[in-house]
């Protein structure tokens, strides 16, 4: 019972973290959002191809090898944030109205013996609704797998893998 | 279109908004431009082995680029001859045949109709299989690894279509050290949609040095290979800036001509291995190319909808029409095939952060194309032509620099900073295509 | 359309893709085909009582099928005569009148305008109520429980429109034991959208025995009533396969003629009660129908857009046009009204797993129609006609088997496995409708 | 449109559904109606200071309403002259210039092109800046705080365009106590989309007293300022109901004329402060207006697409065309500028619960317009014209009551309850616009 | 631990409340839904404008001052509900099919000392899917900030602020 | 407290189960997904009609009587799965990209006395995003009511009722 409880509190803890992350993004507090990543963070979003069901290995472009949607470290993320903050990044000026809905949070099995692991792997689903200017509207839906690391008391994102459920990107940009 | 004359007045630098938003003009473009011109399909390195295929697009239509069992490369319309079903709904793969999932007609990788269920019993002599293979392009060219095709048998050869532009396209396709060819695609083709007419990006890439404002935020942030600005500027700062156009072909490119006595320019300072690689390349380049070593490329557009970007991030973009108000972009990324892994990886990161919908730079281009298009649709807006007057009458057809002659109608914008020389050349050709009854009217 | 001749060449088995994707042809179809032809509206058993109604569709338009207080059945355009508001936004129900929610005009279930707010004060004599009832169809027919209607007063009677096809339609509508009529709808009409032109499913059902490949996965898995394959095949394996077409009417069906001396075929083995029911039915059928007992139906299409499926799963499908590139399908499921509950339930399960968007079989049809349509829209694709050569010139108008004559232009495909006899007949009639100035030109 | 005659027969009260659903007619409307007529743009109180701007819409197009540094008000097409980019993508703000984000051309708040990157070097004399400022409307009028504009220089002045309708529009724009002007917008403009042709709401507001059924649910629930019904009815119950139309202008309004000897009517009983305010207003009104104090307004439409609602909830609605099948509504809310805060707040609450997509009343209007439009698109439906016969031939051009003459073609519907006098006048003018070659044909 | 547990149970409690609210709405039990509000409840939904990133104060219309989408008390809410119940509120007759998806529930920090606070502020995200008649479909996506008050054992909504991620409303009504 | 805790752990347990089910579907591990159903499972999805608000009983087609979207047992479900696995079920070849977002999980009142019930009824909402080939995209949104049964330690689905918020199906298939 008590270790189930520990796991429960752990998951609660992580859910709160992910919800807070969404809050920071939608409140456009991008610098605070950036602080949620470790310095060695890896941010990865592959492209997807339509391939035969029995060649799944061809479906995703590969990190570190192929051209991907994202495949970068904190440095580049930082530049993305700083670009928005310039106020002349036209694709985000006027700012978009976004809503990050997070669901299906799964904390992958951690050592039950260890109630307070320093790293956990977390799966979640997202639906990002984006609306800007007059009627421009996008839905970005998919899954994430994050590795969260405990850094002085709080959590930080050490690795993020985003799987978008699209092949041809049905939006003009990914800001 | 009898009124194209009034819509496209290149000599005065006035072009009507109609040609971007009018549905009828769009429909005509499909027949007059895309059914005739040479179009980019893909890269050899995407289909190395027999039976390899990738699905690509020509104009609005899906096509299959594949290598048959004998190693020959083909481009087919991705549609069954029986009832039109898409015979291949995969993006890529390797196969011995394309079997149609509707009634099972199957086609070999060379397009021949090899399988017809109940052929003898149901069709007997009626069906002449030889006449019902996959629809194949009329002409195909493998130019230094890039595959081009046209549906029009009466079109000139690819090399004639390319004409004097060859010198500039090679700046992208040849190895950086000056050897012929030797470039390859790094895996993954970016594909995305933009809500604007396909000619906005085509003209922008043809030679728009003028939209610095669009990218100022990137300059401030700095994503260049040396960690500053958008690109390494230094070598460009001491070079001559040339807007190169071939109005009789429709092709154009932004180019840079370095001084005949200029030293090597430092670049990629914060990545020694890369800096070292490019330095060695440029030394070899000088040896191999002689005076031509001085010529460097930038973005350009090969009529109608293919845009080489002849320097890092080295890419090929195709602007596929998807209705008058939407464009689907496909983006290939090129590197020297035999560059060290570390160099390739460095460039890969640079490409990703620079280009496409996840690139810091081009996001702003797309925002502009989107709303430039949208704001041009109304009944009042369409009464006011766009302005292409910049640098009217300043170009020369006999450019020379210290004995080096360069082909094309060239506007030296080193002092002017920018011109619309290339855009005017592009639309001059576009109008010819739209007015021509056939290729006869298009070759002088 | 002056060029229909070149687009639809039935004699050579060539039909242009234009007729599926061209917007102007689609617009004409609404006037030339759907405003003239007899269309299926619904089934009597959906509106058993006075005041019962269901909303249905004729072509693109919403109609109300209802039974008035006197028990008479009507079909009305679902649009108020005042400002066009939809007077009924429910799918079904029971009512004494249809009151328009905009200004409150109300119409009795026989269509008469019975309520007009402030009639005397506001309109006085101006409004002639008799002229402003709901728009009613020009002709209506209740044929063995199925309700058909046409907007064209000059159209022939339903029975003339049905013609020799009656024999085949009855295979669906008569009870399995050979009694006239006696079928009913089991509750719930499937409704869904397919991204293709409405003629793809219409021609497929008209007689496409050829698309086995589409359904091979189902054959492997097995969903048939005997737990194997798609259907019970045995009786068909020893029967003659006939593609029956009425080119002068546009109707057609896939039929099976069993040997004059054939025994009963075992079926539904894994459901004794069902097997038993059908065996008894067939015995009665022989008694009642004489030689005709041997005739069994399959899928067919009644021009223009209604497809009976005359064996289990016994259904009626209507392919409603929703623009050139989209079709809305409505699907009714029929059983013998007095079959035992257990039999009805068994069939219900079979229908659900077989048919419609949640059916294993038809999901693959829709995938094919979707992408066959999509791949036929381009400027190049439209230059290449579809091929309908299968079985050209093999049909007879005088089919006979052991003294049993069957009406229609019949192609015996027992050996050939399949033909496109029915599709050719369908498009021959389609072209006549598209070219005709009025019904005068359509009745010989 | 040569066939407009047959489509719009106002004298017989028959109007074809085509004019609501036909794409070609819609396209023509943009040129014949919206490029010529005076359109409402916004309210002075939205841009109090120099450099203040709001983005608005004229027909399909985005425009900027702004006050230049010198305090003059302008309306510009929101599109750059260079490549058409939207120069302002904000809804409102304050600025010294509008800088285009594509290439950086910048325009002062008076529209002049003040900034062109590299002007001297890149353009030299080629670009005549004076000719390339923002496109400005041909005429602009600030009428009692409301800003109106037209693209047509040959259009009559706003006051001529307004004509005799002035008396009625003032019922909205003047203070309730009879002083000229003195109304202001309370912050926030409602904007939303309705899936129907823009003329449905325009004609509804022009004078549809007849759709009580639409709002019966609200009457039952009660949201009126006195907590009952939709509005305070009493004063209307003892007034004469007048449908006022200006067929030669296209404008119209629902009006109420109280008896010459009628006492003040109690209203807003459950809000003493508000009741008291309006009572005082009416006393002043009598003093200031003399006999005209008796005249009260309701909803109306100023041709083509602006609808004043001249009593609480006092609003101005504009019905922007967004394709034949969609309308974008913009809604401004007006109050007496110097009413007590408590009164303004009371009315604000009333407006919110009454109007727009979150208002209890108008939700039902939109449902009706949506499905009236949808049910009118089909090939059969379009054969049946809408009925506008109500009150045909009952109007007078010389209305008088106890010596008070009122301008307009007026139908007294006190007894009749309703008429379609105003709608007929509206479409008469609409047809004139659609047939006219220029304003010459529109002014008699 | 035990106070973390208390917070967890509190959050669980509130999630259950919000899910039940969604259930009542989608089951069209509008009167029961109305009972979830306190008598002094304030229901507020501002309009949003496209404004420069550095003038965020202009983005939202203001409660009690501007015209908003909603800015009202329980009395008006009650009238809305009663209107639907008349059965002749055409915009909701035939009734719409709605689905209120609630996610990212965040209970804002409450006094840790107090395990059973009488008022809590709760953030959540919603995606409302609405489909009616034949093919009419809307998505309404955004965020809510509720103040819940504990009233004899259960929770009631005392204040609700809804932020819809749209500027031009992409729907014909908000019922 | 302790029984509230038990309920909490129960709910946690069930959420994890539903999220794992979504994971299996979106990972295309259909056979593993099938194992989540009891052998006597009933899988039901009715059609919906537009009917007057006061005739709700007409709104849904009836299990065991009418034609429905789904109304079947594990045997038919198994055939559906096997069909996809053939690799020539064209409607799912190439495979779709799907994302099952699950929210609003409600465990209906169980006997508080019994902390580990053997059957529980669970309500949840789903948003299924499906994208395939190039740009084909569907949203399927609605509610589910599941009866879960505890089978040697884990949970299995014994009954599922799916309510899709559409009348005319706005998709070409339900795979
Ligand atoms: S469509 Fe390809 S075989 Fe029939
Ligand atoms: S639209 Fe039906 S009564 Fe007016
Ligand atoms: S489009 Fe405005 S400056 Fe070029
Ligand atoms: Fe750019
Ligand atoms: Fe089939
Ligand atoms: Fe109204």
Q: What is the pLDDT of residues A43-93, one digit of tens each?
A: 999 999 999 999 999 999 999 999 999 999 999 999 999 999 999 999 999
Interface residues from chain E to C (CB-CB < 8 Å): 88, 90, 94, 133, 135
Under DSSP, is residue C138 helix (H, G, I), strand (E, B) or coil? Answer: coil
Is the pLDDT assigned to residue B236 strictly greater than 70?
Answer: no
- Total Cβ atoms within 10 A of residue C229: 16
Phi, psi of D397 (to 5 degrees): -100, 5
The residue among B429 and B444 whose pLDDT is bigger is B429
Q: CA gyration radius for chain D?
A: 23
Chain E interface includes D186 (CB < 8 A): yes
Report the distance separating Cα B316 and Cα B183, nearest Å: 12
DSSP letter at F56 equals G
Contacts of A128 in chain F (CB under 8 A): none
Is the pLDDT assigned to residue F3 strictly greater than 80?
Answer: yes
Predicted local distance difference test score (pLDDT) of residue D188: 87
Crossing angle of the two packed helices D341-354 and D272-289, in degrees rounded to 10:
100
Q: What DSSP assignment string belongs to C334-396? A: EEETTS-HHHHHHHHHHHHHHSSTTSHHHHHHHHHHHHHHHTT-STTGGGS-EE--TTTT--B
Residue B357's pLDDT band, with cuts at 50, 70 and 90, is confident
**Which chains have 3 or more CB–CB distances shorter than 8 Å to chain B?**
A, C, D, F
B29-44 pLDDT per residue, tens:
999 999 999 999 999 9
Asked if residue F127 lies in contact with residue E127, where contact means CB atoms within 8 angstroms, the answer is yes
Find residue A131's DSSP bridge partners: A97, A137
Query: Measuring from atom 1 of ligand 2, which residue has the nearest CA?
Result: C83
Report the distance separating Cα B319 and Cα B327, nearest Å: 6
Report the distance separating Cα D58 and Cα D38, nearest Å: 10
- Total Cβ atoms within 10 A of residue C259: 12
Give the closest residue to C79 by CA, choosing from C68, C89, C92. C89
CB contact under 8 A, F129 and A165: yes
Looking from the CA of residue C80, the nearest atom of ligand 2 is: 2
- Looking at CA atoms only, how far is residue B91 from chain F in angstroms? 8
Query: Measuring from atom 4 of ligand 2, which residue has the nearest CA?
Result: C103
Residue A109's pLDDT band, with cuts at 50, 70 and 90, is confident
Contacts of C344 in chain F (CB under 8 A): none
For the record, the structure tokens of A76 come out as 């580049």
For the record, the structure tokens of D281 come out as 């207003």
Predicted local distance difference test score (pLDDT) of residue B230: 66
Q: Omega into D42 within 30° of 0, i.e. cis? A: no
CB contact under 8 A, C102 and D377: no
Strands laid side by side in the C39-43 sheet: C39-43, C146-150, C139-143
CB contact under 8 A, B380 and D61: yes
Looking from the CA of residue D372, the nearest atom of ligand 2 is: 1
Residue C210's pLDDT band, with cuts at 50, 70 and 90, is very high
CB contact under 8 A, E53 and A87: yes
- Looking at CA atoms only, how far is residue B102 from chain F in angstroms? 9
Q: How far is CA C376 from CA B26, B110, C325, D4, in A?
A: 18, 21, 11, 37
Ligand 2 centroid–CA C79 distance in Å is 9
- Total Cβ atoms within 10 A of residue F79: 17
Please report which helix (H) or strand (E) contains residue B402, including its range: none
- Total Cβ atoms within 10 A of residue C367: 28
- pLDDT mean over C292-299: 95
Burial of F37 (0-12, 13-18, 19+ CB in 10 A): buried
Is D122 near ligand 3, meaning CB less than 6 Å away?
no
Give the closest residue to A5 by CA, choosing from D156, F13, D6, F24. F13
Asked if residue A81 lies in contact with residue A33, where contact means CB atoms within 8 angstroms, the answer is yes
Place of tokens 């005068």: C440
For the record, the structure tokens of E133 come out as 């008649």
Ranking C293-307, D46-60, D261-275, E97-111 by mean pLDDT, the lowest is D261-275
Report the distance separating Cα C15 and Cα C307, nearest Å: 21
Contacts of D193 in chain A (CB under 8 A): 135
Burial of B217 (0-12, 13-18, 19+ CB in 10 A): buried
Smallest-distance ligand from the CA of D101: 3
Q: Whole-prediction pTM value?
A: 0.96
Burial of F6 (0-12, 13-18, 19+ CB in 10 A): middle
CB contact under 8 A, A94 and D90: yes
Q: How many helices (H) and strands (E) does chain B have?
A: 12, 24
Q: Which of E11, E53, E106 is the closest to A93 by Cβ?
A: E53
- Looking at CA atoms only, how far is residue C206 from chain D in angstroms? 26
- N residues, chain D: 444
Predicted local distance difference test score (pLDDT) of residue E117: 86
Q: What ranges make up the beta strands (E) of D200-250?
A: 239-246
Q: Give the dihedral sign, CA B277/B278/B279/B284.
A: positive
Give the closest residue to A139 by CA, choosing from F131, E98, B327, E162. F131
For the record, the structure tokens of D177 come out as 């106590």
Chain F interface includes C223 (CB < 8 A): yes
* Residues whose beta carbons lie less than 5 angstroms from ion ligand 5: C 365
Chain E interface includes A136 (CB < 8 A): no
Smallest-distance ligand from the CA of B390: 3
Q: Which of F4, F54, F106 is the closest to E19 by Cβ?
A: F106
Is the pLDDT assigned to residue E64 strictly greater than 70?
Answer: yes
Is the pLDDT assigned to residue B1 strictly greater than 60?
Answer: no
Asked if residue B89 lies in contact with residue F133, where contact means CB atoms within 8 angstroms, the answer is yes
Q: Which of D93, D189, D366 is the closest to E55 by Cβ?
A: D93
Predicted local distance difference test score (pLDDT) of residue B330: 97
- pLDDT mean over A102-107: 96
- pLDDT mean over B389-410: 97
Is the pLDDT assigned to residue A5 strictly greater than 80?
Answer: yes
- pLDDT < 70 regions, chain D: 1-2, 225-236
**Which chains have 3 or more CB–CB distances shorter than 8 Å to chain E?**
A, C, D, F
Inter-chain contacts counted by CB atoms under 8 A, chains A and B: 123
Predicted local distance difference test score (pLDDT) of residue D230: 66
Residue C103's pLDDT band, with cuts at 50, 70 and 90, is very high
Report the distance separating Cα D263 and Cα D261, nearest Å: 7
Under DSSP, is residue B1 helix (H, G, I), strand (E, B) or coil? Answer: coil
Report the distance separating Cα F82 and Cα F30, nearest Å: 9
Report the distance separating Cα E44 and Cα D30, nearest Å: 38
Asked if residue D192 lies in contact with residue E138, where contact means CB atoms within 8 angstroms, the answer is no
- Looking at CA atoms only, how far is residue E10 from chain F in angstroms? 11
Is C89 near ligand 2, meaning CB less than 6 Å away?
no
Report the distance separating Cα B421 and Cα D88, nearest Å: 28
Predicted local distance difference test score (pLDDT) of residue B131: 97
ipTM value, please give it.
0.95
Predicted local distance difference test score (pLDDT) of residue A116: 78
pLDDT over 90 percentage in chain E: 78
Give the closest residue to D306 by CA, choosing from D193, D199, D419, D208. D199
Q: What DSSP assignment string belongs to E53-74? A: TT-GGGTBPPTTTS--SEEEEH
Predicted local distance difference test score (pLDDT) of residue C229: 64
CA B115 to chain centre: 36
Report the distance separating Cα D11 and Cα D9, nearest Å: 6
- Looking at CA atoms only, how far is residue E165 from chain C in angstroms? 29
For the record, the structure tokens of F115 come out as 């902390």
Report the distance separating Cα C402 and Cα D358, nearest Å: 74
Mean residue pLDDT of chain E comes to: 92
Looking from the CA of residue B83, the nearest atom of ligand 1 is: 1
Report the distance separating Cα B104 and Cα B93, nearest Å: 19
- pLDDT mean over F3-17: 92
Give the closest residue to C372 by CA, choosing from B422, D418, B79. B79
What is the four-CA torsion angle of E82, E88, E94, E97, rounded to 10 degrees? -20
Report the distance separating Cα D22 and Cα D265, nearest Å: 47
Smallest-distance ligand from the CA of C203: 5
- pLDDT mean over C113-125: 95
Predicted local distance difference test score (pLDDT) of residue C254: 97
- Interface probe, candidates F131, F132, F134, chain B, greatest B C-beta count within 10 A: F134
Q: How far is CA D47 from CA C106, D279, E48, F113, in A?
A: 49, 32, 18, 67
Smallest-distance ligand from the CA of D214: 6
* Residues whose beta carbons lie less than 5 angstroms from ion ligand 4: B 365
Chain B interface includes C17 (CB < 8 A): yes
Residue C245's pLDDT band, with cuts at 50, 70 and 90, is very high
Q: What DSSP assignment string belongs to B213-225? A: GGGHHHHHH--ST
Under DSSP, is residue D75 helix (H, G, I), strand (E, B) or coil? Answer: strand
Is the pLDDT assigned to residue B233 strictly greater than 60?
Answer: no
Report the distance separating Cα C168 and Cα C254, nearest Å: 9
C160-201 pLDDT per residue, tens:
999 999 999 999 999 999 999 999 999 889 999 999 999 999
DSSP letter at E48 equals B
Ligand 1 centroid–CA E141 distance in Å is 43
């Amino acid at each position: 019972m008590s270790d189930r409880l520990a796991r429960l509190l752990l998951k609660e803890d992580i859910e709160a973290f992910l919800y807070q992350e969404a809050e920071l993004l939608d409140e456009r507090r991008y610098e605070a959002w950036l602080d949620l990543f470790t310095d060695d963070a890896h941010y990865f979003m592959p492209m997807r191809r339509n391939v035969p069901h029995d060649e799944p290995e061809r479906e995703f472009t590969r990190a570190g090898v192929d051209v991907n949607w994202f495949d970068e470290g904190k440095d580049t993320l930082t530049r993305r944030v700083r670009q928005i903050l310039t106020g002349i990044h036209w694709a985000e000026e006027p700012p978009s109205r976004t809503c990050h809905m997070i669901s299906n949070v799964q904390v992958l099995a951690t050592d039950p013996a260890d109630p307070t692991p320093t790293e956990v792997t977390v799966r979640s689903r997202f639906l990002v609704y984006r609306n800007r200017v007059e009627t421009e509207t996008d839905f970005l839906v998919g899954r994430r797998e994050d590795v969260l690391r405990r850094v002085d008391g709080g959590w930080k994102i050490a690795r993020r893998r985003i799987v978008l459920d699209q092949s041809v990107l049905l939006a003009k940009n990914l800001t | 279109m009898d009124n194209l004359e009034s819509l496209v007045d290149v000599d005065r630098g006035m072009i009507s908004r109609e040609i971007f938003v009018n549905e009828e003009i769009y429909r005509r473009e499909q027949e007059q431009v895309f059914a005739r011109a040479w179009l980019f399909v893909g890269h050899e390195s995407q289909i190395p082995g027999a039976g390899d295929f990738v699905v690509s697009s020509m104009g609005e239509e899906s096509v299959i680029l594949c290598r048959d069992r004998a190693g020959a490369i083909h481009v087919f319309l991705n549609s069954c001859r029986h009832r039109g079903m898409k015979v291949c709904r995969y993006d890529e793969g390797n196969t011995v045949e394309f079997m149609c999932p509707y009634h099972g007609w199957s086609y070999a990788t060379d397009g021949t109709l090899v399988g017809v269920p109940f052929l003898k019993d149901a069709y007997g002599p009626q069906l002449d299989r030889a006449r019902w293979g996959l629809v194949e392009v009329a002409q195909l060219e493998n130019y230094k690894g890039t595959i081009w095709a046209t549906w029009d048998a009466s079109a000139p050869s690819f090399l004639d279509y390319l004409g004097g532009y060859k010198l500039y396209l090679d700046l992208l396709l040849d190895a950086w050290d000056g050897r012929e060819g030797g470039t390859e695609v790094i895996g993954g083709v970016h594909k995305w949609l933009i809500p604007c007419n396909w000619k906005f990006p085509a003209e922008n890439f043809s030679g728009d040095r003028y939209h610095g404002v669009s990218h100022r935020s990137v300059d401030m942030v700095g994503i260049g290979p040396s960690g500053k600005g958008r690109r390494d500027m230094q070598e460009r700062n001491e070079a001559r800036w040339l807007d190169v156009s071939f109005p009789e072909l429709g092709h154009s490119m932004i180019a840079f001509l370095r001084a005949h006595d200029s030293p090597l320019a430092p670049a990629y300072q914060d990545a020694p291995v890369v800096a070292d690689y490019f330095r060695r390349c440029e030394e070899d380049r000088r040896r191999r190319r002689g005076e031509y070593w001085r010529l460097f490329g930038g973005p350009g557009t090969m009529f109608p909808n293919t845009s080489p970007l002849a320097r890092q991030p080295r890419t090929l973009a195709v602007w596929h029409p998807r209705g008058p108000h939407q464009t689907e972009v496909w983006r290939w990324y090129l590197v020297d095939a035999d560059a060290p892994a570390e160099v390739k990886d460095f460039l890969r990161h640079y490409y990703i952060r620079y280009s496409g919908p996840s690139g810091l730079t081009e996001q702003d281009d797309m925002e502009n194309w989107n709303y430039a298009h949208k704001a041009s649709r109304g009944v009042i807006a369409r009464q006011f032509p766009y302005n292409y007057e910049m640098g009217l009458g300043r170009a020369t057809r006999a450019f020379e620099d210290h004995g080096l002659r360069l082909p094309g109608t060239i506007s030296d914008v080193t002092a002017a900073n920018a011109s619309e020389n290339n855009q005017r050349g592009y639309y001059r050709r576009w109008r010819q295509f739209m007015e021509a009854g056939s290729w006869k009217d298009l070759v002088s």
